[in-house]
Chains A and B, each alone.
Chain A
Amino acid sequence: MSSSLFIQYLFSALTSGGIYAMVGIGFVIVYRISKILNIAQGHLYVLSAFLAMTMIDSWEVSRWFSIPLVVAAVCTIMVILHRLTMHPIRNKDMLSKLLMTVGWVFIIEGSLEWIYGPTPRSLSAFPGPKVLNFQDAAISFQSIWVLGAAIVSSILLYVFLTRTTIGRAMEACSENETGSKLVGIHVEKMLILAFIVCAMFGAVAGIVGGPLSYVTYAAGMGLTIKGLTAAIVGGINHIYGALVGGVVLGLLEAFSAGLISTLFYELVSILALLIILVARPQGILGGR
């Protein structure tokens, strides 16, 4: 394999890996604090991509101004969903909660189908150069945005969780709920905050990842599976495990497609999920 081809594969791996990691981090944040697996995580991505399309193409909002608007909108939707449907069943068993997030999936997917129809759409690319030439490899400039967003948002998350009082309170809740209650942390508020952070990650991923490919209302499930695989491969209890998992998954996909065959592209991530579940359920980074 020539070095330029290698770089090409590497960049496509890192790009999809970055998106999987951002979706995966969303899973981990909510899971750690509430033991809820939010199946609608991938749909937040699709939702934000569609919202950004509407704002930029139909309402003619400027690109940079649309970003905070979309993030705020997705967070609001998430909080409303949580308040109306997840809060009343907070004491029920895990299956009800899992199915509730599946209900969200259908609500989001159904609304998108209702409003936008079944045709695939594409978000316009970010302003600036389109292609970056690196030796002989041509790299889409959007990949840089994705990678940048993934890195910056993880650093911001790290700073938030370790350097701010409210972030540390959130960490405390995921470590020990009863203990946090005893020292006066409002656990319910922290749960809502976790959902907001997870919505933020989904929204940012959708904004930077949307221009990479066509998006349909039904694209969410695939992303959920990829993000979930990233989170599980890295270890569902480790926030930065999702980063590792995302990159591993991206590499596996890109190189298996490039070196073996694109025929099994879909199967690679599913098999990775199955193997890691059976062989090492706690993930790469997880200890016992």
Chain B
Amino acid sequence: MREKTIFYTLLLLLAVILPFIYHDLDLVLRAVLMACAVLGLQLLMSYGGQISLGNAAFMGLGAYISGVLSVKFGLPSLLTIFVAVAVTALIALIVGYPLLRLKGYYLALGTLAFGLSVTSLISTLYTWTGGPAGLIGIPDIGWGDFEITNRATYYYIAVAMFAIFFWYSSNLMKSRVGRALLTLKSSENTAEAMGIRTAKVKLQFFVLSAVFAAFSGAVMGHYLGIIVPSQFNVIISIELLIAMLLGGEAILIGSLVGSLLWFFISDFTHSVAIPRMFMLGLIMIVLILFVEHGVSQAFIKVYNRIKTGITGKSPEKRIVQGGETNDIS
């Protein structure tokens, strides 16, 4: 328990002083924003067992609604972000209601089709969204004369956002709804028999993941200043999924670890001129074949082994969904 506190304090400290010690802040910033979306996906998939191949569409909806409102209507961007998130949540609610009745492959396909239809719709409504060429000139986050233009400030916003989401999700998973979700993953019939309204719980987490993704997309749109539909297509949904798998199964901080790793790997492939796609596929296959529960879980395993070696007593274990995991949850 104490280790956990130390770990998170150190992590937060590192996050705060990072702008002063690391040059490529842009990369980290985008990774942290991605981690927000991955966190939502993790709740839905890793904890809830509901496959979604369309979460990047929620990022796209967030980014485009906020972008269009501030560019075409001149509304203050601090307001539009929240409007965008609210509208996206509503869309997720409407879409999720019929889709979440599906199971397994059908759910994967349904969310895939939803993701495709969103990007295709964005391209089609070009008078509003600028079509495939993209929406240009999105203002920075601000209200009236006050505007954030500093990259470091954006970075702190992203970190704060992730920290809040993380704190919220980790509390949520310890609550009644969170336990209901875990039960639902192992057996839906059992959950039903225990009096859990599975459809409602699934829908709640679907909307939550949409909200996280919409926040991440909206802030990203204002940070970049230009958005194109291909930033939010199915490939990006799959990238979110890879980041999730890379980070670790059923461990919330895995979303951050996975996103950071993923961004560093993509950066590396740019420098050695291997097509990004090829690298993506290779990582994915290696991941599925050899790394069972992601990097974070592997790290924890190694850490515990070292600790056992030093202190000579085995760490307490507690059972988490899908196998044993310890410590730093």
Contact = CB atoms under 8 A, between A and B. Distances in A.
Interface in A93-142: 94-96, 98-100, 102-111, 113-114
Contacts of B123: 266
B282 A107 contact: yes
Contacts of A263: 124
Interface stretch (A160-168, A197-205, A270-278): A270-278
Q: Which size class do B's interface residues fall under? A: 35 or more
B289 A89 contact: yes
A6 interface: no
A234 B107 CA distance: 18
Interface in A236-275: 263-264, 266-267, 270-271, 273-274
Given A98-B105, A232-B109, A277-B102, A106 B278 contact: yes
A100 B105 contact: no
A281 B102 CA distance: 8
Interface in B114-167: 114, 116-117, 120-121, 123-124
A88 interface: yes
Contacts of B75: none
Given A98-B108, A232-B109, A103 B117 contact: no
Contacts of A89: 288-289
Contacts of A88: 289
A274 B117 contact: yes
Nearest to B123: A266
Contacts of B117: 267, 270-271, 274
A92 B113 CA distance: 25
B83 interface: no
B110 A278 contact: yes
Contacts of B288: 85, 89, 92, 96, 99-100, 103
Interface in B61-110: 98-99, 101-102, 104-106, 108-110
Nearest to A273: B113
A45 B280 CA distance: 21
Contacts of B116: 225, 270
B289 A281 contact: no
A221 interface: yes
A277 B109 contact: yes
A277 B53 CA distance: 15
Contacts of B114: 274
A36 to B, nearest CB: 9
A274 B99 CA distance: 9
Given A103-B284, A263-B124, A113 B109 contact: no
Interface string A209-231: 00000000000010001001000
Contacts of B276: 110
B105 A106 contact: no
B51 interface: yes
A267 B289 contact: no
B241 interface: yes
A83 to B, nearest CB: 13
Contact of B278 (A94, A111, A277, A278): A111
A274 B113 contact: yes
A70 interface: no
Contacts of B280: 106, 110
Contacts of A98: 51, 105, 108
Interface in B248-294: 274-282, 284-285, 288-289
B97 to A, nearest CB: 10
A37 interface: yes
B245 interface: yes
Nearest to A99: B288
A263 B104 CA distance: 32
B289 to A, nearest CB: 6
**Most A C-beta atoms less than 10 A away, residue of B101, B102, B105, B241:** B105
B278 A264 contact: no
Nearest to A118: B275
B322 to A, nearest CB: 10
Nearest to B49: A95
Given A110-B275, A270-B113, A103 B281 contact: yes
A221 B230 CA distance: 14
A270 B203 CA distance: 22
B173 interface: no
A106 B284 CA distance: 9
Given A277-B102, A281-B106, A267 B278 contact: no
A267 B290 CA distance: 38
B238 interface: yes
Interface of B: 51, 98-99, 101-102, 104-106, 108-110, 112-114, 116-117, 120-121, 123-124, 234, 238, 241, 245, 274-282, 284-285, 288-289
6 contacts: A99-B284, A103-B281, A110-B280, A225-B113, A267-B120, A277-B113
Given A267-B124, A274-B114, 14 more contacts: A92-B288, A98-B108, A99-B288, A102-B284, A103-B281, A106-B281, A110-B277, A111-B278, A266-B123, A266-B124, A267-B120, A270-B116, A274-B117, A277-B110
